[in-house]
Structure 1
């Protein structure tokens, strides 16, 4: 019988692990920037390009169409050349697309640039959490992958603060909102130059000595030896994988759960609050200044409760947080729909919007990414992750595209009845299908998830 020696979490090189996790997670910051900058810029873009409900939804959702392409490219790139080259490519795309949106002379050129930005977001949204999961010991993996969500919400908050500051600079303020994204993009690229390659990818590529050196730097000789043997065993008999292998019998349960969780994270509806804050609060009489101020409140609450999730994800576990989040969102959406329908005061609506953000930030937002990064086998992790994240972005496009149209036909409150029902269904799915993964190595999870 094989005995695996477990090290105490404090025997790891925590400073090194957190350092490389934060650098990788800067991709999450840029994800947060491109995701949230539209909320502050949309009132200006509606005037600049004379947007109707259809174009408002398409312009917002065009980011997701690029994300789908980015995920497909990143999955193949990550498995063929490594995680690090993919992160570098994403950083360069972020830089070019930020400048492209800022300088766009027409609606068509703006949508093309936002689509390109989506390619970078899609690559980073897949590669950053996957990379962090692969370099993190099991005892701290949930916390470290949640760092990616922390940088996403920091990106959202800082972008909202910048948008609010720039809003008084005239009708061209939106150009500065987008153009400033080039600065963190370049910082991300410089940081990635310092990152080591994922030891799991190096072993898969036959570069054992380099992998062992990185594993020793992460956790010492004992950790490196144990990790190397487990990874090597999990890759035994692996060959170049195709999408057909991702849907093989032994992998299919994990892929199904990953896709379902990814789609649910979007169809739960919270991202309409992030993207259409101005539209929601305009419906209850808020002026532009108050609309933009609400984006800051949302960003602050999102940050605080993401920190709470990072503290609890390796203590309470993934499953309890997901169950709590889905059920509480369902209840809060019912209340929010009633408040919007009855034209409640801005302050009351704000309270329940912020409660919904808090619930999401402690559950579906970070934990979905943690689970997607954990549950797929080493042999097909890159391709399987890309499929799950493609599904997530396809769902986001549908959500972002349809909200303005549904709000125009049903009233701003109408879509929230639908989101409440979806969250209730998500609660029952998680309760019946999702297993707890905290504390297990990625290799141990392969057989655990399959059964």
Structure 2
């Protein structure tokens, strides 16, 4: 191996593949715990004598926890490193999931699911930062973007397990909620022994440890300088905004929110929406299951296309065409069942591009010292939109009707398109230090100097 080889140009090895699988635990558990509660409450509500108030709180508790955990986990992983938190958050999920089996009061179920949500939310910035900091540029988009596929796999698994355990007797709901322990334990065992990110180590001035990780994972022939690391550089969140990275935070938060509001709302209320569009109750249930599969397929398709088309084209085409599909549903809410299913299927497939970029863009556009914080902040802000959309959809269906509801969803999606048209960068083929730098050709812009000098960080890393 040549001593001058850049780590960004290395071939994919077994370590990269294992790390991608281990990192998929967070999104899998997110999809699982958020989906299985809806089935579990069918039995749990009468047994625990839950009021509508408590049902709503318990149903939303994990989502609130993810909001808290996203930002908290991002800050902690930038401060204390990726490795330790990479396993601690899963240990918390194991403990809290198991304890759900013995709850007797609504308040404790709420608290446990809130804690599970915090742990799941914290895993997003932790796991994605660790994965992106090890992955070569050629494979970064597909591997990091592909993690979102596991959210839908987790959701599908939850529905299957939930339906099976409903037949297990009156305590089936306890087994449902505790069942998240099993995949969490599996991923916890798999993650044991994962090394710390050498980029983070080098940034903290721990060069000897960083070199040892590089040598172990990539071999003696790869130099630490290939990471573009600057030892001892420390940056806090305030410098992030003062140095001009606030524009990138704004772009990511807006596009993520516009992507997730219609999707979460439609995913949560697919049977009711399809019934309102004239498919009938039985066909609506079949249709919602079919659309769930298409959401999964859509993410898979764009994982394959992200390197071929580039990030900017993927986000623009995904927002534009999925928004037009929702626009069609809004303008023709009483079309034939075939037309309705075609438009809904088109939305489910085409929105996949924005889904995979939710983790690719924030991990590429921010430097090592604040990568976790930026991913966590964007993740937390997006959950506000998800919660709002999920809460408002049933009200909109009742008060406004299906046509206006779909038009609002289309409007939110097309706002995402317009913001992306103005602000979406192209980071395909760039090294992490290039994509996250303020200027092209500056392998590691020091954020403190930029903040002091008043220079602004360009949104497009490649512009001259």
Q: Taking structure 1 as the reference length, what is the TM-score of the superposition?
A: 0.86
- Structure 2: runs of 5+ lacking an equivalent: 441-456, 459-464
1:70 positional shift: 0.8
Match of 1:354 in 2: 345
Match of 1:333 in 2: 326
Which whole-Å deviations, capped at 9, do the CAs of 1:159-196 have from their partners, x for residues lacking one? 23323434555665443332211100111211221311
- Is the contact between residue 126 and residue 386 of structure 1 (CA under 8 Å) also seen in structure 2? yes
1:358 positional shift: 1.2
Q: Tell me the SS of whatever aligns to 1:342.
A: coil
For the pair 1:435 / 2:429, whether they are aligned, the reply is no
For the pair 1:93 / 2:83, whether they are aligned, the reply is no
CA distance in structure 2 between the aligned counterparts of 1:110 and 1:334, rounded to whole angstroms: 40
Relative to structure 1, the CA distance from residue 282 to residue 45 in structure 2 (aligned partners, 3 Å threshold; closer, same or farther) is farther
Q: Tell me the SS of whatever aligns to 2:349.
A: helix
- Is the contact between residue 12 and residue 220 of structure 1 (CA under 8 Å) also seen in structure 2? no
Match of 2:383 in 1: 393
Relative to structure 1, the CA distance from residue 172 to residue 401 in structure 2 (aligned partners, 3 Å threshold; closer, same or farther) is farther
CA distance in structure 2 between the aligned counterparts of 1:409 and 1:47, rounded to whole angstroms: 29
Relative to structure 1, the CA distance from residue 359 to residue 163 in structure 2 (aligned partners, 3 Å threshold; closer, same or farther) is farther
Relative to structure 1, the CA distance from residue 47 to residue 356 in structure 2 (aligned partners, 3 Å threshold; closer, same or farther) is farther
1:350 positional shift: 4.2
Match of 2:448 in 1: none
Match of 2:290 in 1: 297
- Is the contact between residue 294 and residue 350 of structure 1 (CA under 8 Å) also seen in structure 2? yes
Aligned ranges for residues 161-200 of structure 1 at < 5 Å? 161-169=160-168, 173-200=172-199
Relative to structure 1, the CA distance from residue 7 to residue 93 in structure 2 (aligned partners, 3 Å threshold; closer, same or farther) is closer
Aligned ranges for residues 10-89 of structure 1 at < 5 Å? 11-41=10-40, 58-89=57-88
- Is the contact between residue 63 and residue 115 of structure 1 (CA under 8 Å) also seen in structure 2? yes
CA distance in structure 1 between the aligned counterparts of 2:239 and 2:347, rounded to whole angstroms: 39
- Is the contact between residue 22 and residue 147 of structure 1 (CA under 8 Å) also seen in structure 2? no
- Is the contact between residue 29 and residue 120 of structure 2 (CA under 8 Å) also seen in structure 1? yes
CA distance in structure 2 between the aligned counterparts of 1:391 and 1:201, rounded to whole angstroms: 25
1:113 positional shift: 2.7
1:410 positional shift: 2.4
Q: Tell me the SS of whatever aligns to 2:208.
A: helix
Relative to structure 1, the CA distance from residue 73 to residue 7 in structure 2 (aligned partners, 3 Å threshold; closer, same or farther) is closer
1:412 positional shift: 4.7
Q: What's the RMSD between the two structures over aligned residues?
A: 3.0
1:323 positional shift: 0.7
Instruction: Choose the corresponding residue for 1:250, options 238, 244, 252.
Output: 244
For the pair 1:317 / 2:315, whether they are aligned, the reply is no
Q: Taking structure 2 as the reference length, what is the TM-score of the superposition?
A: 0.84
Match of 2:462 in 1: none
Relative to structure 1, the CA distance from residue 181 to residue 152 in structure 2 (aligned partners, 3 Å threshold; closer, same or farther) is same
Match of 2:406 in 1: 416
How many residues align? The count is 437
Match of 1:109 in 2: 108
Relative to structure 1, the CA distance from residue 376 to residue 104 in structure 2 (aligned partners, 3 Å threshold; closer, same or farther) is same
Compare relative contact order (CA 8 Å, sep 6+) and give the higher one, 1 or 2.
1
